[in-house]
Amino acid sequence: MPEFLTLLPPDEARALLLSHLSAPEPDSESISVPHALSRILAEDILAPQPLPDFQRSTVDGYAVRAQDTFGASDSLPAYLTLIGEVPMGDAPAFEIGPGQCALIHTGGMLPPGADAVVMLEYTQLVRHTEEKEISVRSVAMGSEIEVSRAVADGENIIRIGEDVAQGQRILPKGTLLRPAEIGGLMALGITSVRVVKPVKVGLISTGDEIVDPSQTPRPGQVRDINSYSLGALVEKSGGVAKRYGIFSDQFQALKEAAAQALSECDAVVITAGSSASTRDMTAEVIRSLGEPGVLVHGINTRPGKPTILGACNGKAVIGLPGNPVSALVNGYLFVVPVIEKMLGVLPKPKAAVQARLTVNLPSQAGREDWWPVKLLPSPARRGGGGEVYDAEPIFGKSNLIFTLAAADGLLRIPPNATGLSAGEMVEVMLI
Amino acid sequence: MPEFLTLLPPDEARALLLSHLSAPEPDSESISVPHALSRILAEDILAPQPLPDFQRSTVDGYAVRAQDTFGASDSLPAYLTLIGEVPMGDAPAFEIGPGQCALIHTGGMLPPGADAVVMLEYTQLVRHTEEKEISVRSVAMGSEIEVSRAVADGENIIRIGEDVAQGQRILPKGTLLRPAEIGGLMALGITSVRVVKPVKVGLISTGDEIVDPSQTPRPGQVRDINSYSLGALVEKSGGVAKRYGIFSDQFQALKEAAAQALSECDAVVITAGSSASTRDMTAEVIRSLGEPGVLVHGINTRPGKPTILGACNGKAVIGLPGNPVSALVNGYLFVVPVIEKMLGVLPKPKAAVQARLTVNLPSQAGREDWWPVKLLPSPARRGGGGEVYDAEPIFGKSNLIFTLAAADGLLRIPPNATGLSAGEMVEVMLI
């Protein structure tokens, strides 16, 4: 009855699982860009036009022909004739000839003939006699402008296509749409895009002792946690969870539910009842669902040793331990990467927090441990001025869900370490 | 006409702004817990019951009276009489007397009389003669069990209330609901909670040259980016954006729109047209909306120097530069903290990625710079086995939105530095 499993290292187990998922073109749908935050592009986006599509000034000043300013200095200024003001949001109706200039505002369109802008700070109105500053708008055309600094061709302007060139692939398929991408798409007038549909993950809880959270458990019963904590994790990762309910330790009913979930979803997660017999049943169900079936039974992690990874006809079927902490931690380790693969999302750096471990944490060589930790701001400040955190492990049995609710993140002890020492800087994955 | 602003350090500017926001009890609503991911609790949650509410075994084994095993060893085992099996999900119908034990599975309810569980591994069935292993379920009651290891009182069990005690404040007001909290609430049968309503942020774009993204700009016109990039940022931060449209550089119309936005929203963000005159107009509008009006005009950051922070009758009114990069970066720096304060969310460590800077980045003492950077996996691995990234700054004018779309995050050069050196480890805030 005790389990003797051949334990695989988690990275190897994960790679094996992912290699068995057929990644067909994921289902996509069209969505309006302002509603597309956090969605994944299902298509490459090419720029339909250059950006900007006209030469713009980046400063307030005078549009000039650069060569007219060459050699200009405080002691030997250049003199240019003001022939107009560039209207914002419109094309100027004039051209800059030799010795001429026009008032231009930041973002204004460069008039034909001009190839640079002199900042207002390096200019003076010559024919102005009053003491008080005058509004630029009241400058009489025909005034003379004294320029005390030379500008190079192209200075203080954005050229056509400097942000993006026409036809350029601006966002590849698989891009996660963040505020910057939303803005960039709108800048190009791309107001709808195709995005990947959320990955459907079927969730099944097993165990004679598990009841729905809305019920009052009788003595010996506990409420289903895993369908909900994992459901939230699926949602957070770009999936949509479908709950298939709670199954007592009966093979046939579980098998039928799992088969239905597999046919309706992109992946299935079965959280085992906590007894050994249910765990074995999960493996048997996975074997019955399709080829190749169980890939990994037993992973060298804590918590999560009895985790089962399977693939049935190209879809992942994962058996997680019933203990809520084990289930959720292993959800982060194995379910999230499956969702990301099915979504086709491009790999992104994982955010973490650097912190100073407060105590010694022993581990076992060869095993990867994940500890829930609380991050506490430390009075010290880092060199760069950033906050320093202390990472305080939360000790508690892996069936206590509130050890995770109290945690800011998970601390990994890598398989090649026999522990970590108090005072060491560690990386905490936020949860 | 050039701006001469008294520049405040960004941390000081932010603190000043936040101190002027009256933080009344935020509006709340009731929500079903399975739909409450990423919402903020509007109430303290107390445990209505202890968790677990019965003593549970953490292993597969035999429920015993610990004292009956004291002194037991391989050479001198203790012998106990098996009187039953604890059914999963039910209260055992028997009591453990002296010298007795009962088969129990992980998660099973401890029978009265028992105070510890001996793991199956340290037991033998004595009266069993067959060679092959038998199922625990077929063990004949009345058999004798040989116990080769002593257990202490309480060993291998979870006590009542070990996860949470009845009446304990398990989640304080202001808690962000993550998968672990969702699971914890369901474990206690708390299937709905009060959460803070999303903070409403009114967005206004100004500038004669700005047109709606659905329009084809005429020469000299550009599409509105900021209403959409900032709208996505607001949404990402737990707010809901309300767009009030685009206003040309006319004071009265802008003032009326801003007043309406202020009355309907919890905060207002005006992105200035890019010319100096529009920026001045924004400050004037903020002054006209309520007391104290403009708090900060000019912040010692790049990009974002002309940012205006104001508070009108307890609500933030922020004027951001019109350049899309400046607007979005300063949205992260000032709009997000306002939303977090209005939501009442408890402070959380900010996720970041540690990376090695690839080039020297000069800065100006006293000024805080934020550089868009790309994070590239480096072939090196860190001590803990984590990924090492190279941080490669993206050089480009602050009006080029695709410099941000290409970036993984923002790198901060603190005000007390005159730059950062190639090879330095830096912290990159993911965007």
Q: Do B202 and B236 share a domain, yes or no?
A: yes
**Cβ separation of A186 and B352 shorter than 8 Å?**
no
Q: Do B289 and B324 share a domain, yes or no?
A: yes
Chain A interface disruption, residue of B1, B169, B376, most A CBs within 10 A = B1
Q: How far apart are alpha carbons B19 and B362 in whole angstroms?
A: 33
Q: Do B33 and B177 share a domain, yes or no?
A: yes
Q: Do A18 and A100 share a domain, yes or no?
A: no
Cα dist. A388→A360, A384, B9, B350, B388 in Å?
Answer: 19, 10, 21, 11, 20
Give the nearest partner residue to B351 out of A189, A352, A412, using CB atoms.
A352
Which chain A residues are Cβ-neighbours of B328 within 8 angstroms? 179-180, 183
Q: Do B259 and B298 share a domain, yes or no?
A: yes
Among chain A residues, the shortest Cα distance to B223 is held by A187
Question: Given A343, A364, A391, which residue is the final one in a domain?
Answer: A343
Backbone angles phi, psi at B107, to 5 degrees: 90, -10
Which chain B residues are Cβ-neighbours of A54 within 8 angstroms? 219-220
User: Considering chain A, what percentage of its residues have pLDDT values greater than 70?
Assistant: 91
Q: Do B191 and B239 share a domain, yes or no?
A: no
Which chain B residues are Cβ-neighbours of A213 within 8 angstroms? 186-187, 189, 191
Burial A225-244 (b: 16+ CB within 10 A, else e): bbbbbbbbbbbbbbbebbbb
> What's the pLDDT at B274?
57
User: Does residue B150 lie within any of the structural domains?
Assistant: yes
**Cβ separation of A223 and B189 shorter than 8 Å?**
yes
pLDDT above 80: residue A62: yes
Which chain A residues are Cβ-neighbours of B192 within 8 angstroms? none
Q: How far apart are alpha carbons A309 and A293 in whole angstroms?
A: 9
Which chain B residues are Cβ-neighbours of A38 within 8 angstroms? 236
Q: What is the pLDDT of residues A159-177, one digit of tens each?
A: 999 999 999 999 999 999 9
User: Does residue B1 lie within any of the structural domains?
Assistant: no
**Cβ separation of A107 and B229 shorter than 8 Å?**
no
Among chain A residues, the shortest Cα distance to B234 is held by A179
User: Does residue A106 lie within any of the structural domains?
Assistant: yes
**Cβ separation of A386 and B218 shorter than 8 Å?**
no
Q: What is the pLDDT of residues B12-53, one digit of tens each?
A: 999 999 999 986 788 999 999 999 999 999 999 999 999 999
Among chain B residues, the shortest Cα distance to A175 is held by B405
**Cβ separation of B273 and A88 shorter than 8 Å?**
yes
What ipTM describes this predicted complex? Answer: 0.92
User: Does residue B358 lie within any of the structural domains?
Assistant: yes
**Cβ separation of B219 and A351 shorter than 8 Å?**
no
**Cβ separation of A349 and B60 shorter than 8 Å?**
no
**Cβ separation of B225 and A87 shorter than 8 Å?**
no
Cα dist. B264→B259, B267, B268, B293, B309 in Å?
Answer: 9, 9, 10, 18, 19
Q: Do A151 and A278 share a domain, yes or no?
A: no
A206-210, A270-274, B109-113: which has the minimum mean pLDDT?
A270-274
Backbone angles phi, psi at A325, to 5 degrees: -70, -45
Question: Given A343, A370, A396, which residue is the final one in a domain?
Answer: A343
> What's the pLDDT at A380?
63
Question: Given B343, B370, B395, which residue is the final one in a domain?
Answer: B343
Residues in contact with B213: Cβ distance below 8 Å, sequence separation at least 6, in sequence order: A186, A187, A189, A191, B223, B224, B225, B228
> What's the pLDDT at A399?
77
Two structure tokens written together for A336? 């999230």
Domain coverage including residue A115: 56-158
Instruction: Calculate how close chain B gets to A179, using CA atoms only, in Å.
Output: 5
**Cβ separation of A188 and B223 shorter than 8 Å?**
yes
Q: Do A204 and A327 share a domain, yes or no?
A: yes
Q: Do A16 and A36 share a domain, yes or no?
A: no
**Cβ separation of A213 and B189 shorter than 8 Å?**
yes
pLDDT above 80: residue A71: yes
Average pLDDT over residues A1-12: 74
pLDDT above 90: residue A270: yes
Q: Do B325 and B379 share a domain, yes or no?
A: no
Q: Do A109 and A190 share a domain, yes or no?
A: no
**3-class DSSP string for chain A:** CCCCCCCECHHHHHHHHHHCCCCCCCCEEEEEHHHCCCCEECCCEECCCCECCCCEECCCEEEECHHHHCCCCCCCCEEEEEEEECCCCCCCCCCCCCCEEEEECCCCECCCCCCEEEEHHHEEECCCCCCCCCCHHHCCCCCEEEECCCCCCCCCEECCCCCECCCCEEECCCCECCHHHHHHHHHCCCCEEEEECCEEEEEEEECCCEECCCCCCCCCCEECCHHHHHHHHHHHCCEEEEEEEEECCCHHHHHHHHHHHHHHCCEEEEECCCCHHHHHHHHHHHHHHCCEEEEEECECEECCCCCEEEEECCEEEEEECCCHHHHHHHHHHHHHHHHHHHHCCCCCCCCEEEEEECCCEECCCCCEEEEEEEEEEEEEECCCCCEEEEEEECCCCCCCHHHHHCCCEEEEECCCCCEECCCCEEEEEEC
Give the nearest partner residue to A385 out of B350, B399, B416, using CB atoms.
B416
Q: Do B154 and B64 share a domain, yes or no?
A: yes
Among chain B residues, the shortest Cα distance to A218 is held by B90
CATH number of the domain to which B133 belongs: 2.170.190.11
Q: How far apart are alpha carbons A39 and A197 in whole angstroms?
A: 8
Among chain A residues, the shortest Cα distance to B51 is held by A400
Helix (H, G, I), strand (E, B) or coil at B398: coil
Instruction: Calculate how close chain B gets to A183, using CA atoms only, in Å.
Output: 4
> What's the pLDDT at B277?
67
CATH number of the domain to which A297 belongs: 3.40.980.10
Two structure tokens written together for A196? 């990947």
Average pLDDT, chain A: 91
**Cβ separation of B181 and A405 shorter than 8 Å?**
yes
Helix (H, G, I), strand (E, B) or coil at B322: coil
CB contacts < 8 A, A to B, total 365
Contact between B379 and B392 (Cβ < 8 Å): no
CATH number of the domain to which A32 belongs: 3.90.105.10
Which segments in chain B show pLDDT lower than 50? 1-3, 129-137, 383-384
> What's the pLDDT at B129?
42
pLDDT above 60: residue A54: yes
**Cβ separation of A213 and B231 shorter than 8 Å?**
no
Q: What is the pLDDT of residues A280-322, one digit of tens each?
A: 899 999 999 999 999 999 999 999 889 999 999 999 999 999 9
**Cβ separation of B228 and A349 shorter than 8 Å?**
no
Structurally, chain B folds into a number of domains equal to 4
User: Does residue B5 lie within any of the structural domains?
Assistant: no
User: Does residue B3 lie within any of the structural domains?
Assistant: no
User: Does residue B2 lie within any of the structural domains?
Assistant: no
> What's the pLDDT at A2?
43
> What's the pLDDT at A276?
64
B182 closest CA partner among A331, A221, A413: A331
User: Does residue B406 lie within any of the structural domains?
Assistant: yes
